[in-house]
Structure 1
Protein backbone atom coordinates (compact mmCIF):
# COMPACT_ATOMS: atom_id res chain seq x y z
CA UNK A 1 0.00 0.00 0.00
CA UNK A 2 1.20 3.49 -0.84
CA UNK A 3 0.72 6.43 1.49
CA UNK A 4 0.05 10.12 0.99
CA UNK A 5 0.86 12.90 3.44
CA UNK A 6 -1.23 16.04 3.02
CA UNK A 7 1.19 18.94 3.41
CA UNK A 8 -0.22 21.80 1.35
CA UNK A 9 -1.71 23.99 4.08
CA UNK A 10 -0.34 27.41 4.99
CA UNK A 11 -0.61 26.96 8.76
CA UNK A 12 -1.88 30.49 9.27
CA UNK A 13 -2.74 29.91 12.94
CA UNK A 14 0.89 28.99 13.58
CA UNK A 15 2.25 32.33 12.38
CA UNK A 16 4.88 33.72 12.71
CA UNK A 17 6.44 30.21 12.67
CA UNK A 18 4.96 29.52 9.24
CA UNK A 19 5.72 32.85 7.59
CA UNK A 20 9.00 31.50 6.25
CA UNK A 21 8.73 27.80 7.12
CA UNK A 22 6.10 25.42 5.69
CA UNK A 23 3.91 23.92 8.40
CA UNK A 24 5.19 20.33 7.88
CA UNK A 25 8.71 21.51 8.74
CA UNK A 26 7.69 23.16 12.02
CA UNK A 27 9.57 21.28 14.71
CA UNK A 28 7.96 19.24 17.47
CA UNK A 29 10.46 18.10 20.10
CA UNK A 30 13.25 19.20 17.76
CA UNK A 31 12.03 17.14 14.79
CA UNK A 32 10.06 18.50 11.80
CA UNK A 33 6.44 17.42 12.11
CA UNK A 34 6.42 15.56 8.81
CA UNK A 35 9.45 13.49 9.84
CA UNK A 36 7.45 11.96 12.68
CA UNK A 37 5.07 10.61 10.03
CA UNK A 38 7.80 9.42 7.69
CA UNK A 39 9.58 7.48 10.41
CA UNK A 40 6.31 5.93 11.58
CA UNK A 41 5.35 4.94 8.04
CA UNK A 42 8.74 3.37 7.37
CA UNK A 43 8.51 1.49 10.66
CA UNK A 44 5.07 0.21 9.67
CA UNK A 45 6.42 -1.27 6.44
CA UNK A 46 5.45 1.41 3.93
CA UNK A 47 8.00 2.10 1.21
CA UNK A 48 6.35 4.59 -1.20
CA UNK A 49 4.99 7.93 0.01
CA UNK A 50 3.49 10.82 -1.95
CA UNK A 51 3.57 14.33 -0.44
CA UNK A 52 1.53 17.20 -1.81
CA UNK A 53 2.61 20.76 -1.15
CA UNK A 54 1.84 24.36 -2.03
CA UNK A 55 3.00 27.04 0.45
CA UNK A 56 6.84 27.07 0.46
CA UNK A 57 6.70 23.56 -0.93
CA UNK A 58 10.19 23.61 -2.40
CA UNK A 59 11.54 23.78 1.14
CA UNK A 60 9.84 20.47 1.85
CA UNK A 61 11.39 18.85 -1.21
CA UNK A 62 14.81 20.28 -0.42
CA UNK A 63 14.66 19.06 3.18
CA UNK A 64 13.32 15.55 2.55
CA UNK A 65 14.84 14.79 -0.83
CA UNK A 66 14.05 11.38 -2.29
CA UNK A 67 13.34 9.87 1.13
CA UNK A 68 16.34 7.56 1.20
CA UNK A 69 17.36 8.85 4.63
CA UNK A 70 14.09 7.44 5.99
CA UNK A 71 14.19 4.21 4.02
CA UNK A 72 11.39 5.49 1.79
CA UNK A 73 10.81 6.50 -1.80
CA UNK A 74 9.21 9.97 -1.82
CA UNK A 75 7.34 11.57 -4.72
CA UNK A 76 5.83 15.03 -4.71
CA UNK A 77 2.62 16.53 -6.02
CA UNK A 78 3.18 20.28 -6.33
CA UNK A 79 -0.02 22.32 -6.37
CA UNK A 80 1.03 25.95 -6.59
CA UNK A 81 -2.31 27.09 -5.20
CA UNK A 82 -3.83 24.74 -2.59
CA UNK A 83 -6.49 22.44 -4.02
CA UNK A 84 -8.11 21.55 -0.66
CA UNK A 85 -8.08 17.98 0.54
CA UNK A 86 -10.20 16.38 -2.17
CA UNK A 87 -8.61 18.26 -5.04
CA UNK A 88 -5.11 17.62 -3.73
CA UNK A 89 -5.66 13.88 -3.48
CA UNK A 90 -7.33 13.76 -6.88
CA UNK A 91 -4.35 15.50 -8.48
CA UNK A 92 -1.99 12.96 -6.88
CA UNK A 93 -3.94 9.85 -7.95
CA UNK A 94 -1.58 9.08 -10.87
CA UNK A 95 1.23 8.77 -8.30
CA UNK A 96 -0.85 6.62 -5.95
CA UNK A 97 -1.82 3.83 -8.31
CA UNK A 98 -5.02 1.83 -8.70
CA UNK A 99 -5.19 0.25 -5.24
CA UNK A 100 -6.46 1.72 -1.94
CA UNK A 101 -3.94 4.03 -0.27
CA UNK A 102 -3.33 5.53 3.15
CA UNK A 103 -3.87 9.27 3.62
CA UNK A 104 -2.61 11.13 6.69
CA UNK A 105 -2.85 14.82 7.46
CA UNK A 106 0.62 16.30 7.76
CA UNK A 107 -0.37 18.51 10.70
CA UNK A 108 -1.26 15.86 13.26
CA UNK A 109 0.94 14.13 15.80
CA UNK A 110 -0.07 10.56 16.59
CA UNK A 111 1.18 7.14 17.61
CA UNK A 112 -1.47 5.35 15.56
CA UNK A 113 -0.06 2.00 14.33
CA UNK A 114 -0.18 2.54 10.57
CA UNK A 115 0.54 -1.13 9.90
CA UNK A 116 -3.01 -1.87 11.10
CA UNK A 117 -4.38 -0.27 7.93
CA UNK A 118 -2.77 -2.78 5.59
CA UNK A 119 -5.84 -5.02 5.66
CA UNK A 120 -8.18 -5.15 2.63
CA UNK A 121 -10.56 -2.22 2.26
CA UNK A 122 -14.27 -3.11 2.40
CA UNK A 123 -15.96 -0.26 0.56
CA UNK A 124 -14.67 3.09 -0.62
CA UNK A 125 -13.06 4.40 2.57
CA UNK A 126 -11.99 3.50 6.09
CA UNK A 127 -11.70 6.35 8.59
CA UNK A 128 -9.85 6.53 11.88
CA UNK A 129 -11.88 8.54 14.39
CA UNK A 130 -10.90 9.98 17.77
CA UNK A 131 -12.72 11.41 20.77
CA UNK A 132 -13.74 15.01 20.20
CA UNK A 133 -10.95 17.40 21.25
CA UNK A 134 -11.64 20.62 23.13
CA UNK A 135 -11.34 22.73 19.99
CA UNK A 136 -13.89 20.58 18.10
CA UNK A 137 -16.50 19.43 20.64
CA UNK A 138 -19.30 18.69 18.15
CA UNK A 139 -17.32 16.06 16.25
CA UNK A 140 -17.74 15.03 12.62
CA UNK A 141 -19.27 11.58 12.25
CA UNK A 142 -20.89 8.76 14.17
CA UNK A 143 -19.57 5.19 14.36
CA UNK A 144 -21.83 2.19 14.80
CA UNK A 145 -21.03 -1.47 14.19
CA UNK A 146 -17.88 -0.56 12.27
CA UNK A 147 -19.66 1.76 9.83
CA UNK A 148 -19.31 5.54 9.70
CA UNK A 149 -22.24 7.89 9.11
CA UNK A 150 -23.12 11.55 9.42
CA UNK A 151 -23.56 12.66 13.01
CA UNK A 152 -27.20 13.25 13.96
CA UNK A 153 -28.64 15.43 16.72
CA UNK A 154 -28.46 13.65 20.05
CA UNK A 155 -26.21 10.91 18.69
CA UNK A 156 -22.67 10.41 20.04
CA UNK A 157 -20.11 11.75 17.61
CA UNK A 158 -16.40 11.39 17.00
CA UNK A 159 -13.82 13.52 15.19
CA UNK A 160 -12.08 12.50 11.98
CA UNK A 161 -8.42 12.07 12.87
CA UNK A 162 -6.99 12.90 9.46
CA UNK A 163 -6.04 9.25 8.94
CA UNK A 164 -7.86 7.16 6.35
CA UNK A 165 -7.58 4.50 3.70
CA UNK A 166 -9.25 5.58 0.47
CA UNK A 167 -10.10 3.78 -2.75
CA UNK A 168 -9.35 5.65 -5.97
CA UNK A 169 -12.94 4.79 -6.93
CA UNK A 170 -14.10 7.33 -4.32
CA UNK A 171 -13.02 10.04 -6.79
CA UNK A 172 -14.89 8.66 -9.81
CA UNK A 173 -16.40 11.52 -11.79
CA UNK A 174 -14.31 14.23 -10.10
CA UNK A 175 -12.73 17.01 -12.13
CA UNK A 176 -9.39 18.77 -11.57
CA UNK A 177 -9.50 21.79 -9.30
CA UNK A 178 -10.05 22.65 -5.67
CA UNK A 179 -12.73 20.67 -3.81
CA UNK A 180 -13.30 19.22 -0.36
CA UNK A 181 -13.08 15.55 0.60
CA UNK A 182 -16.00 15.56 3.06
CA UNK A 183 -18.82 15.62 0.45
CA UNK A 184 -17.32 12.57 -1.26
CA UNK A 185 -17.11 10.75 2.06
CA UNK A 186 -20.68 11.66 2.98
CA UNK A 187 -21.92 10.36 -0.36
CA UNK A 188 -20.10 7.09 0.24
CA UNK A 189 -21.47 6.93 3.80
CA UNK A 190 -25.01 7.24 2.48
CA UNK A 191 -24.30 4.18 0.33
CA UNK A 192 -22.88 2.24 3.31
CA UNK A 193 -19.40 2.26 1.79
CA UNK A 194 -17.38 3.77 4.67
CA UNK A 195 -16.02 1.71 7.54
CA UNK A 196 -14.26 3.10 10.58
CA UNK A 197 -12.64 2.63 13.94
CA UNK A 198 -12.11 4.63 17.12
CA UNK A 199 -8.51 5.29 18.13
CA UNK A 200 -7.83 6.06 21.78
CA UNK A 201 -4.07 6.62 21.61
CA UNK A 202 -1.98 9.76 21.24
CA UNK A 203 -3.38 12.28 18.78
CA UNK A 204 -3.03 16.05 18.47
CA UNK A 205 -4.14 18.32 15.65
CA UNK A 206 -1.15 20.67 15.63
CA UNK A 207 -3.11 23.62 14.29
CA UNK A 208 -2.28 26.34 16.81
CA UNK A 209 0.49 27.40 19.16
CA UNK A 210 -1.45 25.95 22.10
CA UNK A 211 -1.74 22.55 20.43
CA UNK A 212 1.90 22.66 19.32
CA UNK A 213 2.79 23.04 23.02
CA UNK A 214 0.45 20.12 23.81
CA UNK A 215 2.26 17.95 21.26
CA UNK A 216 5.59 18.87 22.83
CA UNK A 217 4.27 17.85 26.26
CA UNK A 218 2.96 14.52 25.02
CA UNK A 219 6.26 13.63 23.38
CA UNK A 220 8.15 14.65 26.53
CA UNK A 221 5.90 12.41 28.63
CA UNK A 222 6.35 9.45 26.28
CA UNK A 223 10.10 9.70 26.67
Structure 2
Protein backbone atom coordinates (compact mmCIF):
# COMPACT_ATOMS: atom_id res chain seq x y z
CA UNK A 1 0.00 0.00 0.00
CA UNK A 2 1.61 3.21 -1.15
CA UNK A 3 -1.27 5.66 -1.32
CA UNK A 4 -2.89 7.51 1.56
CA UNK A 5 -5.58 10.07 2.26
CA UNK A 6 -5.89 12.51 5.17
CA UNK A 7 -9.19 14.02 6.23
CA UNK A 8 -8.29 17.42 7.68
CA UNK A 9 -11.25 19.53 6.53
CA UNK A 10 -12.94 19.96 9.90
CA UNK A 11 -13.25 23.44 11.32
CA UNK A 12 -12.37 22.47 14.89
CA UNK A 13 -15.58 23.99 16.23
CA UNK A 14 -15.06 22.65 19.74
CA UNK A 15 -11.67 24.33 19.91
CA UNK A 16 -12.97 27.62 18.54
CA UNK A 17 -15.80 27.60 21.07
CA UNK A 18 -13.12 27.59 23.77
CA UNK A 19 -11.12 30.42 22.18
CA UNK A 20 -8.54 28.29 20.35
CA UNK A 21 -8.54 29.79 16.88
CA UNK A 22 -5.60 27.87 15.40
CA UNK A 23 -6.66 25.78 12.39
CA UNK A 24 -7.24 22.30 13.76
CA UNK A 25 -4.57 20.57 11.62
CA UNK A 26 -2.02 23.00 13.08
CA UNK A 27 -2.93 22.45 16.73
CA UNK A 28 0.18 21.03 18.43
CA UNK A 29 0.19 17.88 20.52
CA UNK A 30 3.50 17.33 22.28
CA UNK A 31 4.88 20.30 20.35
CA UNK A 32 4.07 18.76 16.95
CA UNK A 33 1.09 20.02 14.90
CA UNK A 34 -1.46 17.34 14.08
CA UNK A 35 -0.88 17.52 10.33
CA UNK A 36 2.88 17.15 10.71
CA UNK A 37 2.47 14.22 13.09
CA UNK A 38 0.12 12.51 10.63
CA UNK A 39 2.34 13.07 7.60
CA UNK A 40 5.41 11.75 9.39
CA UNK A 41 3.48 8.67 10.49
CA UNK A 42 2.47 8.03 6.87
CA UNK A 43 6.06 8.50 5.81
CA UNK A 44 7.14 5.94 8.43
CA UNK A 45 4.64 3.47 6.99
CA UNK A 46 6.14 4.02 3.51
CA UNK A 47 3.05 5.76 2.16
CA UNK A 48 4.65 7.81 -0.60
CA UNK A 49 1.59 9.38 -2.26
CA UNK A 50 -0.73 11.40 -0.05
CA UNK A 51 -3.91 13.32 -0.78
CA UNK A 52 -5.13 15.68 1.92
CA UNK A 53 -8.39 17.58 2.11
CA UNK A 54 -8.50 20.87 4.02
CA UNK A 55 -11.31 23.38 4.28
CA UNK A 56 -11.45 26.49 2.11
CA UNK A 57 -10.89 29.03 4.87
CA UNK A 58 -7.95 27.48 6.71
CA UNK A 59 -6.46 25.45 3.90
CA UNK A 60 -3.90 28.05 2.76
CA UNK A 61 -2.34 28.28 6.22
CA UNK A 62 -2.10 24.51 6.52
CA UNK A 63 -0.63 24.15 3.04
CA UNK A 64 1.97 26.84 3.72
CA UNK A 65 3.02 25.14 6.95
CA UNK A 66 3.40 21.75 5.29
CA UNK A 67 5.31 23.22 2.34
CA UNK A 68 7.89 24.63 4.76
CA UNK A 69 8.48 21.15 6.20
CA UNK A 70 9.83 19.94 2.83
CA UNK A 71 8.85 16.35 3.54
CA UNK A 72 9.87 13.72 0.94
CA UNK A 73 6.30 12.79 0.03
CA UNK A 74 4.20 13.37 -3.07
CA UNK A 75 1.35 15.49 -1.72
CA UNK A 76 -1.86 16.43 -3.48
CA UNK A 77 -4.20 18.96 -1.88
CA UNK A 78 -7.95 19.23 -2.13
CA UNK A 79 -9.25 22.50 -0.70
CA UNK A 80 -12.96 22.13 -0.09
CA UNK A 81 -15.34 22.71 2.80
CA UNK A 82 -17.52 19.64 3.22
CA UNK A 83 -20.53 18.83 5.42
CA UNK A 84 -19.07 15.56 6.74
CA UNK A 85 -16.11 13.19 6.79
CA UNK A 86 -17.89 10.98 4.27
CA UNK A 87 -18.10 13.87 1.83
CA UNK A 88 -14.40 14.55 2.47
CA UNK A 89 -13.57 10.96 1.54
CA UNK A 90 -15.55 11.26 -1.67
CA UNK A 91 -13.76 14.54 -2.47
CA UNK A 92 -10.50 12.58 -2.37
CA UNK A 93 -11.81 9.95 -4.78
CA UNK A 94 -9.97 11.17 -7.87
CA UNK A 95 -6.64 11.05 -6.04
CA UNK A 96 -7.21 7.71 -4.30
CA UNK A 97 -9.18 5.41 -6.57
CA UNK A 98 -7.42 2.80 -8.66
CA UNK A 99 -5.54 0.96 -5.93
CA UNK A 100 -5.81 0.19 -2.20
CA UNK A 101 -5.31 3.19 0.04
CA UNK A 102 -4.95 4.15 3.67
CA UNK A 103 -7.36 6.73 5.06
CA UNK A 104 -6.77 8.58 8.31
CA UNK A 105 -8.26 11.48 10.16
CA UNK A 106 -5.79 14.20 11.13
CA UNK A 107 -6.67 14.10 14.82
CA UNK A 108 -5.83 10.48 15.71
CA UNK A 109 -2.82 10.11 18.02
CA UNK A 110 -1.30 6.63 18.11
CA UNK A 111 2.04 4.96 18.93
CA UNK A 112 4.83 5.66 16.41
CA UNK A 113 4.90 2.14 14.93
CA UNK A 114 1.15 1.50 14.99
CA UNK A 115 0.44 2.82 11.51
CA UNK A 116 3.07 0.65 9.85
CA UNK A 117 1.78 -2.39 11.76
CA UNK A 118 -1.77 -1.65 10.66
CA UNK A 119 -0.76 -1.26 7.02
CA UNK A 120 1.14 -4.56 7.14
CA UNK A 121 -1.89 -6.34 8.63
CA UNK A 122 -4.30 -4.85 6.11
CA UNK A 123 -2.03 -5.94 3.27
CA UNK A 124 -2.50 -9.65 3.97
CA UNK A 125 -6.27 -9.82 4.31
CA UNK A 126 -8.86 -9.56 1.57
CA UNK A 127 -11.18 -6.96 3.03
CA UNK A 128 -13.00 -4.10 1.37
CA UNK A 129 -12.23 -2.02 4.45
CA UNK A 130 -9.97 -2.88 7.36
CA UNK A 131 -10.74 -0.83 10.46
CA UNK A 132 -8.16 -0.07 13.12
CA UNK A 133 -9.86 -0.65 16.47
CA UNK A 134 -8.99 0.30 20.01
CA UNK A 135 -10.29 -0.59 23.45
CA UNK A 136 -9.65 2.96 24.71
CA UNK A 137 -12.91 4.90 24.81
CA UNK A 138 -12.87 8.61 25.64
CA UNK A 139 -15.33 9.97 23.10
CA UNK A 140 -18.89 11.16 23.48
CA UNK A 141 -19.85 9.46 20.20
CA UNK A 142 -17.66 6.39 19.69
CA UNK A 143 -18.35 4.03 16.79
CA UNK A 144 -18.58 0.62 18.41
CA UNK A 145 -17.61 -2.49 16.47
CA UNK A 146 -18.33 -6.17 17.00
CA UNK A 147 -16.01 -8.80 15.55
CA UNK A 148 -16.39 -12.51 15.03
CA UNK A 149 -13.62 -14.93 16.01
CA UNK A 150 -11.97 -14.57 12.60
CA UNK A 151 -11.72 -10.80 12.92
CA UNK A 152 -14.54 -9.84 10.56
CA UNK A 153 -16.86 -7.00 11.51
CA UNK A 154 -20.38 -8.28 12.14
CA UNK A 155 -21.96 -5.05 13.39
CA UNK A 156 -21.22 -1.35 13.83
CA UNK A 157 -22.94 1.32 15.85
CA UNK A 158 -25.24 1.67 18.82
CA UNK A 159 -26.42 -1.92 18.61
CA UNK A 160 -22.92 -2.97 19.65
CA UNK A 161 -22.46 -0.36 22.41
CA UNK A 162 -20.35 -1.73 25.23
CA UNK A 163 -18.51 -4.24 23.05
CA UNK A 164 -14.73 -4.54 23.28
CA UNK A 165 -13.73 -2.17 20.48
CA UNK A 166 -14.36 1.21 18.89
CA UNK A 167 -13.01 2.53 15.62
CA UNK A 168 -9.74 4.46 15.83
CA UNK A 169 -9.65 6.76 12.79
CA UNK A 170 -7.52 4.54 10.53
CA UNK A 171 -8.97 2.69 7.55
CA UNK A 172 -7.37 0.56 4.84
CA UNK A 173 -9.71 0.61 1.87
CA UNK A 174 -10.14 -1.14 -1.44
CA UNK A 175 -10.97 1.31 -4.24
CA UNK A 176 -14.16 -0.59 -5.08
CA UNK A 177 -15.90 1.09 -2.13
CA UNK A 178 -16.21 4.20 -4.29
CA UNK A 179 -18.88 2.34 -6.29
CA UNK A 180 -21.12 3.11 -3.32
CA UNK A 181 -20.43 6.85 -3.33
CA UNK A 182 -23.38 7.93 -5.46
CA UNK A 183 -25.88 5.58 -3.78
CA UNK A 184 -24.70 6.81 -0.38
CA UNK A 185 -25.13 10.44 -1.40
CA UNK A 186 -28.58 9.71 -2.82
CA UNK A 187 -29.48 8.07 0.49
CA UNK A 188 -28.39 11.32 2.21
CA UNK A 189 -25.92 9.66 4.53
CA UNK A 190 -24.25 12.27 6.70
CA UNK A 191 -21.03 10.86 8.12
CA UNK A 192 -18.21 8.44 7.44
CA UNK A 193 -19.52 6.15 10.18
CA UNK A 194 -22.84 5.96 8.36
CA UNK A 195 -21.03 5.06 5.14
CA UNK A 196 -19.16 2.24 6.90
CA UNK A 197 -22.45 0.90 8.24
CA UNK A 198 -23.89 1.23 4.74
CA UNK A 199 -21.05 -0.83 3.28
CA UNK A 200 -21.61 -3.55 5.86
CA UNK A 201 -25.33 -3.70 5.07
CA UNK A 202 -24.57 -3.85 1.34
CA UNK A 203 -22.45 -6.97 1.80
CA UNK A 204 -18.96 -5.49 1.71
CA UNK A 205 -16.37 -7.29 3.81
CA UNK A 206 -15.13 -5.20 6.74
CA UNK A 207 -12.34 -6.54 8.93
CA UNK A 208 -11.04 -5.27 12.23
CA UNK A 209 -7.50 -4.90 13.53
CA UNK A 210 -7.35 -4.77 17.32
CA UNK A 211 -4.59 -2.23 17.78
CA UNK A 212 -3.15 -0.19 20.65
CA UNK A 213 -4.63 2.80 22.40
CA UNK A 214 -5.54 5.73 20.16
CA UNK A 215 -6.50 9.21 21.39
CA UNK A 216 -8.86 11.20 19.20
CA UNK A 217 -8.11 14.91 19.64
CA UNK A 218 -11.60 16.33 19.26
CA UNK A 219 -11.70 18.64 22.29
CA UNK A 220 -9.19 20.90 24.03
CA UNK A 221 -9.02 18.52 27.00
CA UNK A 222 -7.96 15.71 24.66
CA UNK A 223 -4.64 17.48 24.10
CA UNK A 224 -3.62 17.03 27.73
CA UNK A 225 -4.75 13.39 27.68
CA UNK A 226 -2.72 12.67 24.55
CA UNK A 227 0.38 14.51 25.80
CA UNK A 228 0.33 12.76 29.17
CA UNK A 229 0.06 9.39 27.42
CA UNK A 230 2.88 10.18 24.99
CA UNK A 231 5.14 11.25 27.88
CA UNK A 232 4.24 8.17 29.89
CA UNK A 233 5.21 5.88 27.03
CA UNK A 234 8.33 7.85 26.12
CA UNK A 235 7.00 8.89 22.73
CA UNK A 236 6.73 12.64 23.32
TM-score (norm 2): 0.82
User: Which residue number corresponds to residue 63 of structure 1?
Assistant: 65
Contact 2:136–2:213 (8 Å) recurs in 1: no
Contact 1:50–1:77 (8 Å) recurs in 2: yes
Q: How does 1:32-43 map to 2 (within 5 A)?
A: 32-43=33-44
User: Which residue number corresponds to residue 162 of structure 1?
Assistant: 169
Change (3 A) 1:153 1:183: closer
User: Which residue number corresponds to residue 180 of structure 1?
Assistant: 191
What are structure 1's unaligned runs of at least 5 residues?
none
For 1:6, what is the secondary structure of its paired residue? strand
Separation in structure 1 between the aligned mates of residue 134 and residue 51 of structure 2, nearest angstrom: 24
User: Which residue number corresponds to residue 208 of structure 2?
Assistant: 196
- The structure whose residues are more often helix, as a share, is 2
Question: Once the 2 structures are TM-superposed, how far is the Cα of residue 220 of structure 1 from its aligned partner?
Answer: 2.1
Q: How does 1:2-81 map to 2 (within 5 A)?
A: 2-15=3-16, 16=18, 18-19=20-21, 21-54=22-55, 55-65=57-67, 69-79=70-80, 81=81
Separation in structure 2 between the aligned mates of residue 18 and residue 2 of structure 1, nearest angstrom: 32
TM-score (norm 1): 0.87
Separation in structure 1 between the aligned mates of residue 228 and residue 164 of structure 2, nearest angstrom: 27
Contact 1:206–1:212 (8 Å) recurs in 2: yes
Aligned-CA RMSD value? 2.5
Contact 2:8–2:53 (8 Å) recurs in 1: yes
Question: Once the 2 structures are TM-superposed, how far is the Cα of residue 63 of structure 1 from its aligned partner?
Answer: 0.6
Change (3 A) 1:163 1:183: same
Q: Say yes or no: does 1:141 pair with 2:152.
A: no
Question: How many pairs were matched up?
Answer: 219
